[in-house]
Amino acid sequence: MPTARAIIAEDEPLLREELAELLASLWPELAIVAQTADGIATLQALEKHSPDILFLDINMPGLNGLEVARQASGRCHVVFVTAYDHHTLAAFEQGAADYLLKPVTTARLATTVARLKERIGRPAPALEGLLRELGGAQRGYLRWINASQGQTVRVITVEDVCYFQADAKYTRVVTAEGESLIRKPIKELSQELDPASFWQIHRSTIVNVHAIAGVVRDLRGRTQVRLKRREELLAVSDAYTQLFRQM
């Protein structure tokens, strides 16, 4: 049997190290190909390593474990590491995934290892039903996007975006460091972004409020947005100028 490969995603360093050490003693043949401390890094590790197993903390910064699990569904066997109470853990009874309660004990991890050894080589189950049971189907505002930069696909948290701007069939995603492209139209984005943090200022532009340094007016009196970490100015159409009356 080929060596199984795993990722440990846990934001608490001591718990992450402890889990890695317990796995090394219970399953020496298991290759830990990555250890991550937040949701974005975990998604990147999933794309890079295509593991057989993901030990996934449900509560992580950046993206929580339920959001990461949606991307891992059907791609690898997921073991949730959780501090949830026993009432919530009833959701796991359908057997789509295993779980470990914090603090992880050697005896419970041994049971999980035995189950995983039986499942390796079989197709990984879809997790949509489990995620609905855990409340993962409740949609919040958009928190991250996959954007193309040349031949590379980047995972970008929306907090890092300075602004979105329509560009033919694509939408430009502009951060302080550079630009990427997505196919999602501006109209659809405007319905998915948190309106407290992202303002539409033009039919083709949505700006991150936290990226705004101030507003200026050109020689014709037209309003423009000045950004904290970008040099370009963004035009504000007349329909949206009321957003800046307090500035």
pLDDT surpassing 70 at residue 71: yes
> If you average pLDDT over every residue of the chain, what do you get?
87
For 179, other C-beta atoms within 10 Å of its C-beta total 13
Q: Give residue-wise pLDDT tens across range 78-130.
A: 999 887 655 456 667 666 678 888 888 999 999 999 999 999 989 998 888 78
State which CATH number among 2.40.50.1020, 3.90.1150.10, 3.20.20.140, 3.40.50.300 fits the domain covering 144-244: 2.40.50.1020
pTM for the whole thing?
0.59
CB 91 within 8 A of CB 7: no
Distance, CA of 40 to CA of 104 (rounded, Å): 24
Is the CB of residue 157 less than 8 Å from the CB of residue 164?
Answer: no
- Per domain, the residue ranges of the chain are 5-133, 144-244
Q: Identify the CATH number of the domain defined by range 5-133.
A: 3.40.50.2300
Beta bridge partners of 179: 174
Q: Which residue has the higher pLDDT, 92 or 15?
A: 15
